[in-house]
Structure 1
Amino acid sequence: MSGIDKRNKLLEEPFTYILTKKATMIIYFNKKQIMVVKDKQAERLIKKIKNCEHSILEVQLLLAKITGNFKHGNEKHSK
C-alpha cells in the first residue's frame, strides 16, 4: 500500500461518513457531502469498514475508492 498514497493525503483523514438509521451511508470529503450510498452497496461497504476499522489509512482508501474517479492528483491548478 506504500505506492497508493504517495503524498500522504489520506493520513489527514479527508473522508468522513455517517450511518443513518436506515443503513444509508453519507460520505463527506473535507466536511462537504459528496455521496450517499444505499441498500446492498452500503451493507457491503459497512462490512469492509468494520473489518479494517483498526487502520485509518485502509478506511480512508475504501471511502476514496467508493467515490469513484475522485482526486487523481493530476488536476491543473489555476494561477
Structure 2
Amino acid sequence: MKNIDKRNRLDESPFSYRISKDNTIFLDYENRQVKILKGKEANKFLERMEAADDDKAKQLIMAKITRNFKRGNEKSANSDKQNNFMGS
C-alpha cells in the first residue's frame, strides 16, 4: 500500500461512513457527505469493509469508491469540493 498512498493522506483517516436504518450508506470525506450507496452496491461495500485488514485498507476502499483520491481533491479540506461532487 506504500506505493498507493505516497503522501500518507490515508493515515489521517479523512473518510468515514454512516449506515441508516434502511441500509443506505453515506460516505463522508472530511465530514462532508460525498457519496450515497444503496442496495447491492451498499452490501458489496460492507462486505469489502469487513474483509479489510486495517483502518488504512478501509480508508483506501472508501477513497476508491468516492473517486476522490489521487486527483488532487484530497489536498485540502478548504478546496472547492462542491464543483467536484456536482459534476461541474
> What TM-score, normalized by structure 2, do the two folds share?
0.76
CA–CA distance in structure 2, aligned partners of residues 74 and 27 of structure 1: 19
Which secondary structure state, in structure 1, belongs to the residue aligned with residue 50 of structure 2?
helix
* Correspondence 1:68-79 to 2 at 5 A: 68=67, 70-74=68-72
Q: Stretches of 4+ moved more than 3 A in 1?
A: none
* Correspondence 1:28-39 to 2 at 5 A: 28-39=28-39
Q: Please list every run of 5 or more consecutive structure 1 residues that lacks an aligned counterpart in the other structure.
A: none
* Correspondence 1:1-79 to 2 at 5 A: 1-52=1-52, 54-68=53-67, 70-74=68-72
CA–CA distance in structure 1, aligned partners of residues 59 and 49 of structure 2: 9
> What TM-score, normalized by structure 1, do the two folds share?
0.84
% identical equivalent positions: 32
Bigger helix share = 2
Q: Please list every run of 5 or more consecutive structure 2 residues that lacks an aligned counterpart in the other structure.
A: 74-88
Aligned length: 73
Q: CA deviation at 1:33?
A: 0.6
CA–CA distance in structure 1, aligned partners of residues 49 and 69 of structure 2: 21
